[in-house]
Chains A and B, each alone.
Chain A
Amino acid sequence: MNLITVSGPPSSGKTSVILKTIEALTRRDLKVGVVKFDCLYTDDDVLYEKAGIPVKKGLSGAMCPDHYFISNVEEVTQWGKKEGFDLLISESAGLCNRCSPYIKEIKAVCVIDNLSGVNTPKKIGPMLKSADIVVITKGDIVSQAEREVFASRVNLVNPSAVIMNINGLTGQGSFELSTLLHDEKNAVDTIVGKELRFTMPSALCSYCLGETRIGESYQMGNVRKINLENRQ
Protein backbone atom coordinates (compact mmCIF):
# COMPACT_ATOMS: atom_id res chain seq x y z
CA MET A 1 0.00 0.00 0.00
CA ASN A 2 1.11 3.55 -0.72
CA LEU A 3 0.63 6.19 1.94
CA ILE A 4 0.19 9.80 0.80
CA THR A 5 0.02 12.71 3.22
CA VAL A 6 -1.99 15.71 2.09
CA SER A 7 -1.83 18.89 4.09
CA GLY A 8 -2.71 22.52 3.67
CA PRO A 9 -4.29 25.54 5.33
CA PRO A 10 -7.98 25.29 6.24
CA SER A 11 -10.38 25.83 3.32
CA SER A 12 -7.64 25.60 0.71
CA GLY A 13 -9.54 22.86 -1.09
CA LYS A 14 -7.85 19.68 0.14
CA THR A 15 -11.01 17.60 0.29
CA SER A 16 -12.23 18.68 -3.16
CA VAL A 17 -8.85 17.96 -4.70
CA ILE A 18 -8.66 14.54 -3.02
CA LEU A 19 -12.20 13.61 -4.04
CA LYS A 20 -11.57 14.49 -7.68
CA THR A 21 -8.23 12.73 -7.67
CA ILE A 22 -9.70 9.55 -6.21
CA GLU A 23 -12.26 9.56 -9.04
CA ALA A 24 -9.37 9.26 -11.46
CA LEU A 25 -7.60 6.65 -9.32
CA THR A 26 -10.62 4.39 -9.04
CA ARG A 27 -11.00 4.46 -12.81
CA ARG A 28 -7.66 2.69 -12.81
CA ASP A 29 -9.15 0.06 -10.46
CA LEU A 30 -7.11 1.22 -7.50
CA LYS A 31 -8.66 0.88 -4.08
CA VAL A 32 -8.29 4.09 -2.13
CA GLY A 33 -9.09 4.99 1.48
CA VAL A 34 -8.92 8.29 3.33
CA VAL A 35 -8.19 9.33 6.89
CA LYS A 36 -9.31 12.82 7.71
CA PHE A 37 -7.55 14.53 10.60
CA ASP A 38 -9.04 17.69 11.95
CA CYS A 39 -9.24 19.69 15.11
CA LEU A 40 -12.71 20.31 16.52
CA TYR A 41 -15.16 19.41 13.82
CA THR A 42 -15.33 18.04 10.31
CA ASP A 43 -18.07 16.66 8.17
CA ASP A 44 -15.76 15.96 5.27
CA ASP A 45 -15.98 12.28 6.17
CA VAL A 46 -19.60 12.44 5.00
CA LEU A 47 -18.43 13.77 1.64
CA TYR A 48 -16.05 10.83 1.28
CA GLU A 49 -18.72 8.35 2.35
CA LYS A 50 -21.14 9.81 -0.17
CA ALA A 51 -18.56 9.22 -2.86
CA GLY A 52 -18.26 5.61 -1.69
CA ILE A 53 -14.76 6.06 -0.32
CA PRO A 54 -13.85 4.22 2.90
CA VAL A 55 -12.99 6.88 5.46
CA LYS A 56 -11.96 7.30 9.08
CA LYS A 57 -11.83 10.58 10.91
CA GLY A 58 -9.73 11.69 13.83
CA LEU A 59 -10.36 14.84 15.82
CA SER A 60 -7.47 16.12 17.86
CA GLY A 61 -9.69 18.21 20.13
CA ALA A 62 -7.53 19.99 22.67
CA MET A 63 -4.26 18.58 21.35
CA CYS A 64 -1.96 20.04 18.71
CA PRO A 65 -3.37 18.46 15.54
CA ASP A 66 0.12 17.75 14.19
CA HIS A 67 1.11 15.82 17.30
CA TYR A 68 -2.17 13.95 17.23
CA PHE A 69 -1.63 13.08 13.58
CA ILE A 70 1.85 11.69 14.01
CA SER A 71 0.85 9.70 17.10
CA ASN A 72 -1.82 7.94 15.09
CA VAL A 73 -0.41 7.61 11.64
CA GLU A 74 0.90 4.07 12.16
CA GLU A 75 -2.48 2.91 13.46
CA VAL A 76 -4.26 4.25 10.42
CA THR A 77 -1.64 2.72 8.15
CA GLN A 78 -2.43 -0.66 9.66
CA TRP A 79 -6.15 0.02 9.18
CA GLY A 80 -5.49 0.79 5.51
CA LYS A 81 -3.49 -2.38 5.06
CA LYS A 82 -6.19 -4.47 6.68
CA GLU A 83 -8.77 -2.94 4.34
CA GLY A 84 -6.59 -3.89 1.40
CA PHE A 85 -6.14 -0.40 -0.03
CA ASP A 86 -3.68 0.28 -2.81
CA LEU A 87 -3.47 3.83 -1.60
CA LEU A 88 -4.23 5.48 1.71
CA ILE A 89 -4.51 9.26 1.76
CA SER A 90 -4.21 11.09 5.04
CA GLU A 91 -5.70 14.55 4.98
CA SER A 92 -4.76 17.00 7.69
CA ALA A 93 -5.35 20.71 8.04
CA GLY A 94 -2.24 22.76 8.61
CA LEU A 95 -3.69 24.87 11.34
CA CYS A 96 -0.56 26.85 12.04
CA ASN A 97 2.06 27.95 9.55
CA ARG A 98 4.72 26.07 11.44
CA CYS A 99 2.98 22.75 10.79
CA SER A 100 5.27 20.00 9.70
CA PRO A 101 3.37 16.80 9.10
CA TYR A 102 5.51 15.13 6.44
CA ILE A 103 7.38 11.89 6.81
CA LYS A 104 10.58 10.98 5.03
CA GLU A 105 10.02 8.65 2.05
CA ILE A 106 6.24 9.11 2.23
CA LYS A 107 4.89 11.25 -0.59
CA ALA A 108 3.78 14.64 0.67
CA VAL A 109 1.28 16.92 -1.02
CA CYS A 110 0.59 20.49 0.09
CA VAL A 111 -2.63 22.19 -1.06
CA ILE A 112 -2.65 25.97 -1.03
CA ASP A 113 -4.94 28.45 -2.76
CA ASN A 114 -4.43 31.48 -4.98
CA LEU A 115 -6.68 33.61 -2.82
CA SER A 116 -4.41 33.33 0.19
CA GLY A 117 -2.19 36.11 -1.17
CA VAL A 118 1.28 36.28 -2.72
CA ASN A 119 3.03 36.62 0.62
CA THR A 120 1.57 33.41 1.97
CA PRO A 121 4.16 31.02 0.50
CA LYS A 122 6.85 32.88 2.43
CA LYS A 123 4.90 32.57 5.66
CA ILE A 124 4.31 28.84 5.51
CA GLY A 125 7.12 26.70 6.85
CA PRO A 126 7.96 23.02 6.36
CA MET A 127 4.40 22.14 5.29
CA LEU A 128 5.08 23.96 2.00
CA LYS A 129 8.87 23.95 1.82
CA SER A 130 9.35 20.23 2.19
CA ALA A 131 6.37 19.00 0.15
CA ASP A 132 6.98 16.85 -2.94
CA ILE A 133 3.94 18.16 -4.78
CA VAL A 134 2.31 21.55 -4.31
CA VAL A 135 -1.25 21.83 -5.56
CA ILE A 136 -2.53 25.35 -6.14
CA THR A 137 -6.31 25.74 -6.17
CA LYS A 138 -8.87 28.44 -6.97
CA GLY A 139 -7.02 29.51 -10.11
CA ASP A 140 -10.31 29.84 -11.94
CA ILE A 141 -11.24 33.03 -10.11
CA VAL A 142 -8.01 35.03 -10.17
CA SER A 143 -6.20 36.55 -13.12
CA GLN A 144 -3.55 34.76 -15.15
CA ALA A 145 -0.93 37.21 -13.85
CA GLU A 146 -1.79 36.47 -10.23
CA ARG A 147 -1.63 32.73 -10.91
CA GLU A 148 1.80 33.13 -12.45
CA VAL A 149 3.08 35.32 -9.64
CA PHE A 150 1.71 32.99 -6.99
CA ALA A 151 3.22 29.90 -8.60
CA SER A 152 6.57 31.61 -8.95
CA ARG A 153 6.48 32.55 -5.26
CA VAL A 154 5.78 28.94 -4.35
CA ASN A 155 8.65 27.89 -6.58
CA LEU A 156 10.93 30.33 -4.74
CA VAL A 157 10.35 28.66 -1.38
CA ASN A 158 10.22 25.13 -2.74
CA PRO A 159 12.03 24.70 -6.04
CA SER A 160 12.08 20.92 -5.61
CA ALA A 161 8.33 20.44 -5.74
CA VAL A 162 6.15 19.68 -8.71
CA ILE A 163 3.67 22.55 -8.76
CA MET A 164 0.23 21.86 -10.22
CA ASN A 165 -2.90 23.93 -10.66
CA ILE A 166 -6.08 22.08 -9.88
CA ASN A 167 -9.65 23.28 -10.07
CA GLY A 168 -11.42 21.58 -7.19
CA LEU A 169 -14.85 22.30 -8.68
CA THR A 170 -14.39 20.91 -12.17
CA GLY A 171 -11.54 18.59 -11.28
CA GLN A 172 -9.34 20.02 -14.01
CA GLY A 173 -5.81 18.90 -13.18
CA SER A 174 -6.83 16.13 -10.78
CA PHE A 175 -6.33 13.38 -13.32
CA GLU A 176 -2.79 14.65 -13.77
CA LEU A 177 -2.20 14.59 -10.01
CA SER A 178 -3.55 11.05 -9.82
CA THR A 179 -0.78 9.83 -12.11
CA LEU A 180 1.85 11.01 -9.64
CA LEU A 181 0.53 9.32 -6.52
CA HIS A 182 0.51 5.57 -6.93
CA ASP A 183 3.81 3.76 -7.26
CA GLU A 184 4.37 0.13 -6.29
CA LYS A 185 7.97 0.96 -5.50
CA ASN A 186 6.90 3.21 -2.62
CA ALA A 187 4.68 0.62 -0.94
CA VAL A 188 4.94 0.45 2.84
CA ASP A 189 3.95 -2.21 5.38
CA THR A 190 4.59 -0.07 8.40
CA ILE A 191 5.93 3.38 9.06
CA VAL A 192 7.41 2.51 12.41
CA GLY A 193 11.02 3.68 12.39
CA LYS A 194 10.48 6.32 9.73
CA GLU A 195 11.17 9.93 10.58
CA LEU A 196 9.50 13.27 10.23
CA ARG A 197 11.00 15.51 7.60
CA PHE A 198 11.15 18.33 10.10
CA THR A 199 10.45 18.65 13.80
CA MET A 200 6.91 19.61 14.77
CA PRO A 201 6.08 22.85 16.54
CA SER A 202 6.73 22.24 20.18
CA ALA A 203 5.16 23.33 23.41
CA LEU A 204 5.06 21.81 26.83
CA CYS A 205 3.84 24.38 29.27
CA SER A 206 1.26 24.74 31.99
CA TYR A 207 -1.38 25.75 29.43
CA CYS A 208 -0.85 22.45 27.63
CA LEU A 209 -1.84 20.80 30.86
CA GLY A 210 -5.06 22.70 31.36
CA GLU A 211 -4.00 25.88 33.13
CA THR A 212 -6.48 28.70 32.50
CA ARG A 213 -5.22 31.48 34.76
CA ILE A 214 -3.18 34.32 33.28
CA GLY A 215 0.02 35.65 34.78
CA GLU A 216 3.69 34.79 35.01
CA SER A 217 3.38 32.77 38.19
CA TYR A 218 1.11 30.30 36.41
CA GLN A 219 3.45 29.82 33.46
CA MET A 220 5.73 26.82 33.72
CA GLY A 221 7.70 24.65 31.36
CA ASN A 222 8.41 25.70 27.79
CA VAL A 223 7.34 29.34 27.90
CA ARG A 224 8.48 32.07 25.58
CA LYS A 225 8.07 35.83 25.90
CA ILE A 226 7.40 38.34 23.15
CA ASN A 227 10.25 40.74 22.48
CA LEU A 228 8.97 44.30 22.86
CA GLU A 229 12.39 45.97 22.84
CA ASN A 230 13.36 47.89 19.73
CA ARG A 231 15.38 45.72 17.41
CA GLN A 232 19.06 46.69 17.25
Chain B
Amino acid sequence: MIGRNQIADRHIGSLLEDYPFLSSFFKENGLDYQGRDDSTLNQIFEEYDEEEQEERAMDPELLMKQTAEFINQMLAFLNEDNEVHSLTILPGTDKSGEKEGFDSLVIRKSEVISIVGPTGSGKSRLLGDIEWVAQADTPTARNILINGDVPDSTWRFSTSKKLVAQLSQNMNFVMDLNVREFIELHAESRLVENPGEVIERIIIEANKLAGESFSEETPITSLSGGQSRALMIADTAILSRSPIILIDEIENAGIDRKRALDLLLSEEKIVLMATHDPILALMAHRRIVIKNGGITKVIETTEEERTILSTLEELDRTVLAYRTRLRAGEILIKG
Protein backbone atom coordinates (compact mmCIF):
# COMPACT_ATOMS: atom_id res chain seq x y z
CA MET B 1 0.00 0.00 0.00
CA ILE B 2 1.23 3.44 -0.86
CA GLY B 3 0.71 6.10 1.78
CA ARG B 4 0.59 9.88 1.50
CA ASN B 5 4.16 10.21 2.80
CA GLN B 6 5.52 8.13 -0.03
CA ILE B 7 4.17 10.49 -2.66
CA ALA B 8 4.21 13.93 -1.01
CA ASP B 9 7.88 14.60 -1.79
CA ARG B 10 8.12 12.83 -5.11
CA HIS B 11 8.48 14.76 -8.34
CA ILE B 12 5.42 15.01 -10.55
CA GLY B 13 7.44 13.70 -13.50
CA SER B 14 8.43 10.50 -11.76
CA LEU B 15 4.97 10.02 -10.29
CA LEU B 16 3.45 10.26 -13.76
CA GLU B 17 6.05 7.89 -15.11
CA ASP B 18 5.19 5.25 -12.51
CA TYR B 19 1.47 5.92 -12.47
CA PRO B 20 0.39 7.32 -15.84
CA PHE B 21 -3.26 7.16 -14.77
CA LEU B 22 -2.55 10.04 -12.38
CA SER B 23 -2.75 12.55 -15.21
CA SER B 24 -6.52 12.14 -15.48
CA PHE B 25 -6.75 12.28 -11.69
CA PHE B 26 -4.82 15.57 -11.53
CA LYS B 27 -6.77 16.97 -14.44
CA GLU B 28 -10.16 16.06 -12.97
CA ASN B 29 -9.15 17.60 -9.64
CA GLY B 30 -8.03 20.87 -11.22
CA LEU B 31 -4.36 20.63 -10.28
CA ASP B 32 -1.90 22.68 -12.35
CA TYR B 33 0.52 19.85 -12.95
CA GLN B 34 1.48 20.27 -16.57
CA GLY B 35 5.04 21.42 -17.16
CA ARG B 36 5.80 20.92 -13.48
CA ASP B 37 7.65 17.63 -13.77
CA ASP B 38 10.42 18.81 -11.44
CA SER B 39 8.17 19.97 -8.61
CA THR B 40 6.91 17.74 -5.87
CA LEU B 41 3.27 17.38 -4.97
CA ASN B 42 3.95 19.16 -1.70
CA GLN B 43 5.58 22.06 -3.49
CA ILE B 44 2.60 22.47 -5.79
CA PHE B 45 0.20 22.45 -2.87
CA GLU B 46 2.30 24.91 -0.91
CA GLU B 47 2.03 27.43 -3.71
CA TYR B 48 -1.66 27.74 -3.05
CA ASP B 49 -2.04 30.03 -0.08
CA GLU B 50 -5.08 29.81 2.11
CA GLU B 51 -7.07 32.22 -0.03
CA GLU B 52 -6.24 30.31 -3.19
CA GLN B 53 -7.25 27.02 -1.58
CA GLU B 54 -10.53 28.56 -0.59
CA GLU B 55 -10.95 29.91 -4.10
CA ARG B 56 -10.52 26.52 -5.68
CA ALA B 57 -12.38 24.73 -2.91
CA MET B 58 -9.29 22.62 -2.56
CA ASP B 59 -8.23 20.73 0.51
CA PRO B 60 -4.54 19.79 0.02
CA GLU B 61 -4.46 17.29 2.88
CA LEU B 62 -7.55 15.49 1.58
CA LEU B 63 -6.27 15.59 -1.98
CA MET B 64 -2.92 14.12 -0.93
CA LYS B 65 -4.66 11.31 0.90
CA GLN B 66 -6.97 10.70 -2.05
CA THR B 67 -4.06 10.67 -4.49
CA ALA B 68 -2.52 7.81 -2.52
CA GLU B 69 -5.86 6.03 -2.34
CA PHE B 70 -6.39 6.42 -6.05
CA ILE B 71 -2.95 4.98 -6.84
CA ASN B 72 -3.66 1.97 -4.64
CA GLN B 73 -7.05 1.40 -6.25
CA MET B 74 -5.68 1.58 -9.77
CA LEU B 75 -2.75 -0.72 -9.00
CA ALA B 76 -5.16 -3.24 -7.52
CA PHE B 77 -7.43 -2.85 -10.53
CA LEU B 78 -4.59 -3.45 -13.00
CA ASN B 79 -3.13 -6.46 -11.20
CA GLU B 80 -6.16 -8.19 -9.90
CA ASP B 81 -7.35 -11.49 -11.14
CA ASN B 82 -11.07 -10.89 -11.18
CA GLU B 83 -12.00 -13.87 -13.20
CA VAL B 84 -15.40 -15.24 -12.36
CA HIS B 85 -15.87 -18.82 -13.51
CA SER B 86 -19.08 -19.49 -11.72
CA LEU B 87 -21.79 -17.86 -9.69
CA THR B 88 -23.67 -19.83 -7.07
CA ILE B 89 -27.03 -18.83 -5.62
CA LEU B 90 -28.01 -20.54 -2.37
CA PRO B 91 -31.69 -20.37 -1.47
CA GLY B 92 -33.26 -17.92 0.93
CA THR B 93 -36.93 -17.25 1.47
CA ASP B 94 -39.76 -15.61 -0.45
CA LYS B 95 -41.89 -12.71 0.80
CA SER B 96 -43.96 -15.05 2.99
CA GLY B 97 -40.89 -16.56 4.57
CA GLU B 98 -41.14 -19.87 2.66
CA LYS B 99 -37.88 -21.50 1.61
CA GLU B 100 -37.13 -21.15 -2.10
CA GLY B 101 -37.71 -24.12 -4.38
CA PHE B 102 -34.15 -25.11 -5.25
CA ASP B 103 -31.08 -26.35 -3.43
CA SER B 104 -28.20 -24.64 -5.09
CA LEU B 105 -27.97 -22.95 -8.46
CA VAL B 106 -24.54 -22.86 -10.08
CA ILE B 107 -24.24 -20.72 -13.20
CA ARG B 108 -21.06 -20.98 -15.25
CA LYS B 109 -19.58 -18.50 -17.67
CA SER B 110 -20.92 -18.58 -21.22
CA GLU B 111 -24.27 -19.74 -19.88
CA VAL B 112 -27.62 -18.04 -20.42
CA ILE B 113 -30.26 -18.15 -17.73
CA SER B 114 -33.63 -16.57 -18.29
CA ILE B 115 -35.74 -15.20 -15.49
CA VAL B 116 -39.51 -15.44 -15.86
CA GLY B 117 -42.33 -14.38 -13.59
CA PRO B 118 -44.90 -11.65 -13.19
CA THR B 119 -43.87 -8.01 -12.91
CA GLY B 120 -42.96 -7.13 -9.35
CA SER B 121 -42.27 -10.75 -8.42
CA GLY B 122 -38.75 -10.10 -7.22
CA LYS B 123 -36.50 -9.97 -10.26
CA SER B 124 -34.79 -6.77 -9.18
CA ARG B 125 -34.23 -8.13 -5.67
CA LEU B 126 -32.56 -11.20 -7.20
CA LEU B 127 -30.34 -8.96 -9.26
CA GLY B 128 -29.71 -6.78 -6.20
CA ASP B 129 -28.65 -9.85 -4.23
CA ILE B 130 -26.18 -10.84 -6.92
CA GLU B 131 -24.76 -7.35 -7.29
CA TRP B 132 -24.37 -6.96 -3.52
CA VAL B 133 -23.03 -10.52 -3.26
CA ALA B 134 -25.59 -11.15 -0.52
CA GLN B 135 -24.41 -13.14 2.48
CA ALA B 136 -27.78 -13.89 4.06
CA ASP B 137 -27.87 -10.18 4.88
CA THR B 138 -30.57 -9.01 2.47
CA PRO B 139 -34.37 -9.34 2.81
CA THR B 140 -34.32 -12.69 0.96
CA ALA B 141 -31.48 -14.11 3.09
CA ARG B 142 -29.91 -15.59 -0.04
CA ASN B 143 -26.21 -16.37 -0.27
CA ILE B 144 -24.16 -15.62 -3.34
CA LEU B 145 -20.86 -17.40 -3.93
CA ILE B 146 -18.26 -16.61 -6.55
CA ASN B 147 -16.16 -19.48 -7.91
CA GLY B 148 -17.75 -21.60 -5.19
CA ASP B 149 -16.45 -19.44 -2.36
CA VAL B 150 -17.61 -16.61 -0.16
CA PRO B 151 -16.36 -13.58 -2.11
CA ASP B 152 -14.38 -10.76 -0.58
CA SER B 153 -16.18 -7.51 0.07
CA THR B 154 -14.38 -5.51 -2.64
CA TRP B 155 -17.11 -6.77 -4.98
CA ARG B 156 -19.50 -4.63 -2.98
CA PHE B 157 -17.58 -1.43 -2.76
CA SER B 158 -15.14 -1.11 -5.61
CA THR B 159 -16.08 1.20 -8.46
CA SER B 160 -13.96 -0.51 -11.05
CA LYS B 161 -14.94 -4.01 -10.03
CA LYS B 162 -18.64 -4.41 -10.52
CA LEU B 163 -20.14 -7.87 -10.71
CA VAL B 164 -23.14 -6.98 -12.85
CA ALA B 165 -23.57 -4.88 -15.98
CA GLN B 166 -27.12 -4.09 -17.05
CA LEU B 167 -28.80 -3.72 -20.38
CA SER B 168 -32.40 -2.70 -20.54
CA GLN B 169 -34.99 -1.60 -22.96
CA ASN B 170 -35.36 1.83 -21.31
CA MET B 171 -31.73 2.77 -21.54
CA ASN B 172 -30.67 5.61 -23.80
CA PHE B 173 -27.53 7.39 -24.79
CA VAL B 174 -27.47 10.89 -23.38
CA MET B 175 -23.99 12.11 -24.26
CA ASP B 176 -23.37 14.50 -27.07
CA LEU B 177 -20.68 12.45 -28.80
CA ASN B 178 -20.25 10.40 -31.94
CA VAL B 179 -19.85 6.62 -31.82
CA ARG B 180 -16.06 6.66 -31.88
CA GLU B 181 -15.69 9.38 -29.24
CA PHE B 182 -18.17 7.60 -27.06
CA ILE B 183 -16.35 4.27 -27.10
CA GLU B 184 -13.05 6.10 -26.67
CA LEU B 185 -14.33 7.69 -23.49
CA HIS B 186 -15.49 4.36 -22.17
CA ALA B 187 -12.19 2.68 -23.08
CA GLU B 188 -10.27 5.46 -21.36
CA SER B 189 -12.21 4.97 -18.15
CA ARG B 190 -11.37 1.24 -18.31
CA LEU B 191 -7.65 1.95 -18.81
CA VAL B 192 -7.67 -0.12 -22.01
CA GLU B 193 -4.21 -0.54 -23.52
CA ASN B 194 -5.14 -0.76 -27.19
CA PRO B 195 -8.18 1.51 -27.55
CA GLY B 196 -7.98 1.80 -31.35
CA GLU B 197 -8.31 -1.93 -31.84
CA VAL B 198 -11.11 -2.27 -29.29
CA ILE B 199 -13.12 0.57 -30.80
CA GLU B 200 -12.80 -0.97 -34.24
CA ARG B 201 -14.02 -4.32 -32.97
CA ILE B 202 -16.99 -2.88 -31.11
CA ILE B 203 -18.19 -0.97 -34.17
CA ILE B 204 -17.85 -4.07 -36.37
CA GLU B 205 -19.68 -6.30 -33.89
CA ALA B 206 -22.41 -3.73 -33.27
CA ASN B 207 -23.00 -3.43 -37.00
CA LYS B 208 -23.36 -7.20 -37.27
CA LEU B 209 -26.16 -7.01 -34.71
CA ALA B 210 -27.94 -3.96 -36.05
CA GLY B 211 -30.41 -4.23 -38.90
CA GLU B 212 -29.19 -0.97 -40.41
CA SER B 213 -25.52 -0.16 -40.27
CA PHE B 214 -24.00 2.99 -38.83
CA SER B 215 -20.58 4.60 -38.96
CA GLU B 216 -18.17 5.75 -36.28
CA GLU B 217 -19.06 9.33 -37.13
CA THR B 218 -22.75 8.90 -36.27
CA PRO B 219 -23.77 10.87 -33.17
CA ILE B 220 -24.91 8.33 -30.59
CA THR B 221 -28.10 10.22 -29.86
CA SER B 222 -29.22 9.90 -33.47
CA LEU B 223 -28.85 6.11 -33.61
CA SER B 224 -32.13 4.23 -34.10
CA GLY B 225 -33.51 2.08 -31.28
CA GLY B 226 -32.06 -1.08 -32.81
CA GLN B 227 -28.68 0.53 -33.51
CA SER B 228 -28.45 1.91 -29.96
CA ARG B 229 -29.25 -1.51 -28.53
CA ALA B 230 -26.66 -3.11 -30.81
CA LEU B 231 -23.98 -0.63 -29.76
CA MET B 232 -24.84 -1.00 -26.07
CA ILE B 233 -24.60 -4.78 -26.30
CA ALA B 234 -21.35 -4.83 -28.27
CA ASP B 235 -19.81 -2.22 -26.00
CA THR B 236 -20.88 -4.04 -22.84
CA ALA B 237 -19.70 -7.40 -24.19
CA ILE B 238 -16.28 -6.14 -25.16
CA LEU B 239 -15.49 -3.22 -22.86
CA SER B 240 -17.32 -3.79 -19.62
CA ARG B 241 -15.31 -5.74 -17.09
CA SER B 242 -18.37 -7.03 -15.31
CA PRO B 243 -18.55 -10.81 -15.67
CA ILE B 244 -22.33 -10.97 -15.36
CA ILE B 245 -24.70 -9.25 -17.75
CA LEU B 246 -28.31 -8.74 -16.82
CA ILE B 247 -30.61 -8.11 -19.75
CA ASP B 248 -34.07 -6.75 -19.14
CA GLU B 249 -35.88 -7.68 -22.37
CA ILE B 250 -34.46 -7.09 -25.82
CA GLU B 251 -37.11 -5.77 -28.12
CA ASN B 252 -37.60 -7.79 -31.23
CA ALA B 253 -36.88 -5.04 -33.72
CA GLY B 254 -33.81 -3.84 -35.52
CA ILE B 255 -31.48 -6.24 -33.76
CA ASP B 256 -30.40 -9.85 -34.17
CA ARG B 257 -31.03 -11.20 -30.68
CA LYS B 258 -29.51 -14.62 -31.23
CA ARG B 259 -26.31 -13.05 -32.44
CA ALA B 260 -26.33 -10.61 -29.52
CA LEU B 261 -26.42 -13.49 -27.05
CA ASP B 262 -23.70 -15.32 -28.98
CA LEU B 263 -21.48 -12.25 -28.78
CA LEU B 264 -21.93 -11.98 -25.02
CA LEU B 265 -21.23 -15.69 -24.60
CA SER B 266 -18.15 -15.57 -26.80
CA GLU B 267 -16.80 -12.96 -24.38
CA GLU B 268 -17.31 -15.52 -21.60
CA LYS B 269 -20.06 -13.62 -19.84
CA ILE B 270 -22.69 -15.08 -17.61
CA VAL B 271 -25.98 -13.86 -19.03
CA LEU B 272 -29.14 -13.43 -16.97
CA MET B 273 -32.14 -12.38 -18.97
CA ALA B 274 -35.41 -11.19 -17.50
CA THR B 275 -38.03 -11.63 -20.16
CA HIS B 276 -41.69 -12.17 -21.03
CA ASP B 277 -40.78 -13.18 -24.58
CA PRO B 278 -41.04 -16.95 -25.16
CA ILE B 279 -38.24 -16.96 -27.72
CA LEU B 280 -35.77 -15.36 -25.34
CA ALA B 281 -36.95 -17.50 -22.43
CA LEU B 282 -36.38 -20.68 -24.42
CA MET B 283 -33.06 -19.56 -25.90
CA ALA B 284 -31.62 -19.87 -22.41
CA HIS B 285 -30.05 -23.08 -21.18
CA ARG B 286 -32.15 -22.89 -18.03
CA ARG B 287 -34.82 -20.62 -16.67
CA ILE B 288 -35.58 -19.38 -13.20
CA VAL B 289 -39.21 -18.99 -12.22
CA ILE B 290 -39.84 -16.24 -9.67
CA LYS B 291 -43.02 -15.81 -7.65
CA ASN B 292 -43.78 -13.81 -4.54
CA GLY B 293 -40.17 -12.71 -4.15
CA GLY B 294 -38.69 -16.19 -4.27
CA ILE B 295 -37.33 -18.61 -6.86
CA THR B 296 -39.89 -21.40 -7.05
CA LYS B 297 -38.28 -23.49 -9.78
CA VAL B 298 -35.21 -23.83 -11.94
CA ILE B 299 -36.14 -25.48 -15.23
CA GLU B 300 -33.77 -26.92 -17.79
CA THR B 301 -34.96 -26.18 -21.33
CA THR B 302 -36.25 -29.52 -22.64
CA GLU B 303 -35.75 -31.10 -26.05
CA GLU B 304 -39.41 -30.58 -26.79
CA GLU B 305 -39.15 -26.93 -25.86
CA ARG B 306 -36.23 -26.60 -28.25
CA THR B 307 -38.40 -27.80 -31.14
CA ILE B 308 -41.06 -25.33 -30.04
CA LEU B 309 -38.35 -22.67 -30.06
CA SER B 310 -37.53 -23.51 -33.69
CA THR B 311 -41.18 -23.07 -34.62
CA LEU B 312 -41.33 -19.75 -32.79
CA GLU B 313 -38.15 -18.57 -34.48
CA GLU B 314 -39.60 -19.51 -37.83
CA LEU B 315 -42.71 -17.43 -37.06
CA ASP B 316 -40.50 -14.62 -35.88
CA ARG B 317 -38.59 -14.60 -39.16
CA THR B 318 -41.85 -14.51 -41.10
CA VAL B 319 -43.08 -11.51 -39.10
CA LEU B 320 -39.76 -9.72 -39.58
CA ALA B 321 -39.76 -10.43 -43.30
CA TYR B 322 -43.25 -8.94 -43.63
CA ARG B 323 -42.11 -5.98 -41.59
CA THR B 324 -39.15 -5.34 -43.88
CA ARG B 325 -41.30 -5.61 -46.98
CA LEU B 326 -43.95 -3.27 -45.62
CA ARG B 327 -41.26 -0.73 -44.79
CA ALA B 328 -40.00 -0.99 -48.34
CA GLY B 329 -43.47 -0.09 -49.64
CA GLU B 330 -44.38 -3.51 -50.98
CA ILE B 331 -47.82 -5.08 -51.14
CA LEU B 332 -47.87 -8.39 -49.26
CA ILE B 333 -48.91 -11.64 -50.87
CA LYS B 334 -49.27 -15.09 -49.31
CA GLY B 335 -46.50 -17.66 -49.60
Contact = CB atoms under 8 A, between A and B. Distances in A.
Contact of A144 (B24, B182, B235): B235
B229 to A, nearest CB: 10
Interface stretch (A78-86, A171-179, A203-211, A213-221): A171-179
Given A115-B174, A145-B239, A162-B157, A153 B62 contact: no
Contacts of A146: 173-175
A15 interface: no
B62 A148 contact: no
Interface residues of A, number: 48
Interface string B131-152: 1100001110000000000000
Residue among A100, A130, A156, A158 with the most chain B CB within 10 A?
A156
A167 B166 CA distance: 13
Contacts of A121: 28
A182 interface: no
B168 to A, nearest CB: 7
A198 B172 contact: no
B236 A145 contact: yes
A108 to B, nearest CB: 13
Nearest to B229: A143
Nearest to B191: A152
B124 interface: yes
Contact of B124 (A149, A151, A172, A198): A172
Nearest to B168: A140
Contacts of B62: 129-130
B227 interface: no
Contact of A100 (B25, B57, B131, B182): B57
A156 B228 CA distance: 28
Sorting the interface of chain B by its residue count into under 10, 10 to 19, 20 to 34 or 35 or more gives 35 or more
B159 A130 contact: no
A163 B232 CA distance: 23
A149 B189 contact: yes
B118 to A, nearest CB: 15
A95 interface: no
Interface string B274-309: 000000000000000000000000000000000000
A142 interface: yes
Nearest to B139: A175
B228 to A, nearest CB: 8
B128 A173 contact: yes
A155 interface: yes
B172 A154 contact: no
A78 B173 CA distance: 46
Interface string A100-143: 10000000000000110110011001100110000000011111
Contacts of B54: 199, 202
Contacts of B235: 143-145
A144 B189 contact: no
Residue among A27, A98, A141, A148 with the most chain B CB within 10 A?
A148
Given A158-B66, A159-B73, A141 B128 contact: no
Nearest to B171: A143
B249 to A, nearest CB: 13
Contacts of B166: 139, 144, 147
Given A152-B190, A172-B124, 18 more contacts: A98-B57, A118-B185, A129-B62, A141-B170, A142-B171, A142-B172, A144-B235, A144-B236, A144-B240, A148-B190, A149-B185, A153-B28, A153-B189, A156-B25, A156-B70, A160-B69, A162-B157, A172-B128
In the A-B complex, the 6 residue pairs with the closest CB atoms? A125-B57, A152-B189, A159-B70, A156-B28, A155-B159, A145-B186
